[in-house]
Amino acid sequence: MFLIPKVFLFTPPFTQLNTPYPATAYLKGFLNTKNIDCAQADLGIEVILSIFSKSGLKHLFSLESGVEKTDNSLRIHSLQEEYIQTIDIAIEFLQGKCPNFAYQIAGRRFLPEASRFKHVEDLQWAFGTLGHQDKAKYIATLYLEDIADYIKECIDEHFGFSRYAERLGRCAHSFDELCEALHQKPTYIDEILFEQIARHLNTQKPDLVCISVPFPGNVYSAFRAAQYIKQYDSSIRIAMGGGFANTELRSLSDARVFEFFDFITLDDGEAPLIHILEYLAAKRPIDLLKRTFVLINNEVQYINNSLEPDYKQNQLGTPFYADLPLNRYISAVEIINPMHKLWSDGRWNKLTMAHGCYWGKCTFCDISLDYIQRYEPLTAAYLCDQVEQIIAETNERSFHFVDEAAPPSLMKAFALELIKRRINISWWTNIRFEKSFTEDLCYLLKYSGCIAVSGGLEVASDRLLSLIEKESV
Ligand code: SF4
């Protein structure tokens, strides 16, 4: 029993390099409203920064590859001293810490080059004569990708910048293949992950570790992390939640999963987490948990007997980003396209305008899922309060609203509130293309600081639209 369980939240490798994934920040912001002691970490950026450092590359190049090297890997290996001597500057440049190195990097005589540079696009056309910063970011990104290719070819085939061992995560519903991999010797990435976890466990000394798993590319690392934590201290309880559990683990029945985790929660994490904390503090019996899988008498049981409702959106507090290593994220330019660049370049505070999706009618979408079906928008005033609080905490005025489809009426109200309060921010979001986006609304959004929108087209043919019984917009 714990009087007040201490919580440590983390996102396992890998999601994004340029900005934190928001799930732990949302949970920490919520736990702050309850005065519950809690720390958070993004192990993805920590592992990447450990590999892509002078000491990390020295270690990498000293490893026996175990496979025959390709010409590309031989080239990179033979240039290892150039990589080791330049990596810290390249990373600091991508962290925005030494912008004047753009001239040297863009001049293409500073960083070593391998196969990623073979088909480099027309840089003069893309960046002109003044776009040194972006050009240098693009070149430094290719340089990192060359090193990533070396890791994949020689050391660890599962490696990727935004995912790790994704294929194993994609077949996790059967668990056999993943389980087998977890009983193999730890990989190169695993060992680096363990070092980072040990550092946090030593300083945080948590009673409960919550691992947020958004995508299949985080699943293997989540299990490896849980396995390590159980060996480190078997009294630490471990919970898993997030997008992957919400979509792929709804029919979980394999008891082996509970060799790694004590709790697996579905859908919004706040209420299930409070229920788990009350259970660990012996203030709630196990059969009154909320949307949580547990193992009882060696049987997987889904417990959802609590009558307490979920928290309303305006009871969740404001996502808390300030204790994440905000000045250490890496801005990469992977594609020469101004819109796509936003996904990997720059640090964005992530927020949502609403719970759920107002659109709710894409044919390919499982709209029965709670995080889509239960539409609950915030008010413009509440959103602006959150924006002001996050600016005060992070000193960062860039926002990405990560709604699946931001509601146009709320975007309009939000823009008007920003203008009324004279809040200067840059923001962008994801939308569905629909009639509500009039020319006037677009001008208003732009005036409020909206720099871009991204949107998916479900279908671009009138014939198919009528077949799925939807009018064209
Ligand atoms: S916009 Fe996204 S969440 Fe909404 S219905 Fe379409 S696919 Fe589903």
Any ligand 1 atom below 6 A from CB of 432: yes
Beta carbons of 127 and 333 less than 8 angstroms apart: no
Identify the pLDDT of residue 67: 84
Q: Tell me whether residue 336 is in a domain.
A: no
Identify the pLDDT of residue 9: 98
Q: Does residue 211 register a pLDDT over 80?
A: yes
The verdict on 425 and 295 lying in the same domain is no
What are 136's two structure tokens? 């240098």
Identify the pLDDT of residue 460: 78
Ligand 1 centre distance from Cα of residue 209 (Å)? 31
d(CA 101, CA 199): 32
Q: pLDDT grade, residue 471 (50/70/90)?
A: low
Q: What DSSP letter does each residue of 338-395 carry, written as one string?
A: HHHHHHHSS--EEE-SEES-S----TTS-TTSHHHHS-EEPPHHHHHHHHHHHHHHH-
Any ligand 1 atom below 6 A from CB of 357: yes
pLDDT tens, position by position, 213-247: 999 999 999 999 999 999 999 999 999 999 999 99
Any ligand 1 atom below 6 A from CB of 367: yes
Ligand 1 centre distance from Cα of residue 214 (Å)? 17
Identify the pLDDT of residue 173: 60
Ligand 1 centre distance from Cα of residue 394 (Å)? 31
pLDDT tens, position by position, 118-127: 988 778 878 8
Q: Tell me whether residue 252 is in a domain.
A: yes
DSSP state of 308: P
Mean pLDDT computed over 89-117: 96
Which atom from ligand 1 is nearest to the alpha carbon of 366? 8
The verdict on 426 and 306 lying in the same domain is no
Report CA dihedral (218, 222, 228, 229) to the nearest 10 degrees: 140
What residue numbers bound the domain in which 115 lies?
Answer: 1-322
Any ligand 1 atom below 6 A from CB of 284: no
Identify the pLDDT of residue 172: 55
Nearest CA to ligand 1 atom 8: 365
**In 10 A of CB 244, how many CB atoms?**
20
Boundary of a domain, candidates 305, 322, 339? 322
Identify the pLDDT of residue 451: 97
Identify the pLDDT of residue 417: 98
d(CA 38, CA 10): 11
- How many structural domains does the chain have? 2
Q: pLDDT grade, residue 128 (50/70/90)?
A: confident
Which atom from ligand 1 is nearest to the alpha carbon of 458? 6
pLDDT tens, position by position, 425-442: 999 999 998 899 999 999
Q: Does residue 129 register a pLDDT over 80?
A: no
Q: Does residue 371 register a pLDDT over 90?
A: no
Ligand 1 centre distance from Cα of residue 359 (Å)? 6
Q: Does residue 472 register a pLDDT over 70?
A: no
φ, ψ of residue 382 in degrees (nearest 5): -65, -45
Which atom from ligand 1 is nearest to the alpha carbon of 357? 4
Q: Tell me whether residue 463 is in a domain.
A: yes
pLDDT tens, position by position, 64-98: 887 888 999 999 999 999 999 999 999 999 999 99
Any ligand 1 atom below 6 A from CB of 333: no
Mean pLDDT computed over 344-362: 93
d(CA 357, CA 371): 8
Mean residue pLDDT across the chain = 93
Any ligand 1 atom below 6 A from CB of 358: no
d(CA 82, CA 64): 19
Side chain identity at residue 191, one-letter code: E
Global pTM reads 0.94
Ligand 1 centre distance from Cα of residue 352 (Å)? 14
The verdict on 262 and 214 lying in the same domain is yes
The verdict on 263 and 409 lying in the same domain is no
pLDDT tens, position by position, 277-334: 999 999 999 999 999 999 999 999 999 999 999 999 999 999 999 999 999 999 999 8
The verdict on 63 and 116 lying in the same domain is yes
Any ligand 1 atom below 6 A from CB of 359: yes
The verdict on 401 and 299 lying in the same domain is no
Q: Does residue 170 register a pLDDT over 90?
A: no
The residue behind tokens 């087998």 is 180
Ligand 1 centre distance from Cα of residue 5 (Å)? 37
Q: Tell me whether residue 333 is in a domain.
A: no
Q: Tell me whether residue 340 is in a domain.
A: no
Q: pLDDT grade, residue 1 (50/70/90)?
A: low
Q: Tell me whether residue 62 is in a domain.
A: yes
Nearest CA to ligand 1 atom 6: 362
The verdict on 184 and 247 lying in the same domain is yes
Point out the least confidently predicted range of 156-165, 187-196, 374-383: 156-165
The verdict on 312 and 352 lying in the same domain is no
pLDDT tens, position by position, 394-432: 999 999 999 999 999 999 999 999 999 999 999 999 999
Q: Tell me whether residue 199 is in a domain.
A: yes
Q: pLDDT grade, residue 174 (50/70/90)?
A: confident
Q: Tell me whether residue 328 is in a domain.
A: no
Q: Does residue 203 register a pLDDT over 90?
A: yes
